[in-house]
């Protein structure tokens, strides 16, 4: 595996609401629009509100979702796989949507999390500017580090609007990424089972 750069993103001061709205007006003028016409007058405020929602991942710590665990599992020790978690993310190169599905699984070591928390972790990292590889790895590492299961697997299949609606214009292209850790990566039987439960799943 190539050595990943792990430089922490620098904290930068947040612009004001007025500054964000002015930036949107600048983009509209740049596109050729008149931002004072009736249909556009409230657009900068709407864009700011909608971005607040789409980039809510910066406000959350996905690790916190995995803190509550259940240990009464009746000896359950097989793979737990949540499929088809809707992914809505944003490509950090073009600020265009990445949409698709994540399949998240882990092999528990005598404790489990509430299943909704797997989707919460996905959304927490997805609602940021991303590349798909990093999104996949962040989800897997977080589950592995906080829950301490025997293994983790994350598969994401997604479309990149920057490829489907512009640039290379390949509307049907989807990108598959996977990040496997521990027994899901190293135990051939577990790996095969996880990949069978996820990879053959089409949308």
Ligand X SMILES: Nc1nc2c(ncn2[C@@H]2O[C@H](COP(=O)(O)OP(=O)(O)OP(=O)(O)O)[C@@H](O)[C@H]2O)c(=O)[nH]1
User: Considering the rule CB under 5 A, would residue 162 count as an interface residue with Zn ion?
Assistant: yes
User: Considering the rule CB under 6 A, would residue 160 count as an interface residue with ligand X?
Assistant: yes
Give the shortest CB-130-to-ligand X separation in angstroms.
Answer: 7
User: Considering the rule CB under 5 A, would residue 131 count as an interface residue with Zn ion?
Assistant: no
Q: Is 91 annotated as a binding residue?
A: yes
Q: Which of 73, 69, 153 is nearest to 106 (CA)?
A: 153
Q: Which of 15, 45, 114, 167 binds ligand X (CB under 6 A)?
A: 167
Contact assessment for residue 178 and residue 154, using Cβ atoms and an 8 Å cutoff = yes
Concerning whether 203 is annotated as a catalytic residue, the answer is no
Could you give the C-alpha distances from 185 to 14, 81, 95, 108, 195, in angstroms and in order?
40, 15, 32, 14, 10
**Minimal CB distance to ligand X: which residue?**
167
User: Considering the rule CB under 6 A, would residue 127 count as an interface residue with ligand X?
Assistant: no
Q: Which of 57, 51, 55 is nearest to 142 (CA)?
A: 57
Q: Catalytic residue among 21, 123, 130, 132, which?
A: 132
∠ CA 195-177-203, rounded to 5°: 70
Nearer to ligand X, 25 or 160 (CB): 160
């Amino acid at each position: 595996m190539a050595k990943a750069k792990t430089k922490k993103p620098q904290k930068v001061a947040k612009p004001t609401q007025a500054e964000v709205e002015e930036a949107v007006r600048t983009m509209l003028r740049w596109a050729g629009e008149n931002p004072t016409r009736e249909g556009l007058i409230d657009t900068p405020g709407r864009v700011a509100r909608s971005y607040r929602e789409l980039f809510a991942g910066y406000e959350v710590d996905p690790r916190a979702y995995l803190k509550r665990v259940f240990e009464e599992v009746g000896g359950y020790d097989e793979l737990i796989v949540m499929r088809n978690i809707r992914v809505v993310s944003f490509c950090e190169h073009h600020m265009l949507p990445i949409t698709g599905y994540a399949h998240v699984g882990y092999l528990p070591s005598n404790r489990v999390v509430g299943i909704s928390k797997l989707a919460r972790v996905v959304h927490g990292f997805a609602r940021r500017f991303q590349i798909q590889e990093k999104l996949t790895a962040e989800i897997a590492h977080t589950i592995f580090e906080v829950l301490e299961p025997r293994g983790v697997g994350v598969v994401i299949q997604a479309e990149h609007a920057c490829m489907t609606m512009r640039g290379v214009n390949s509307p049907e292209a989807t990108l598959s990424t996977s990040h496997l850790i521990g027994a899901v990566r190293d135990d051939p039987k577990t790996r095969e089972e996880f990949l069978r439960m996820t990879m053959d799943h089409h949308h």
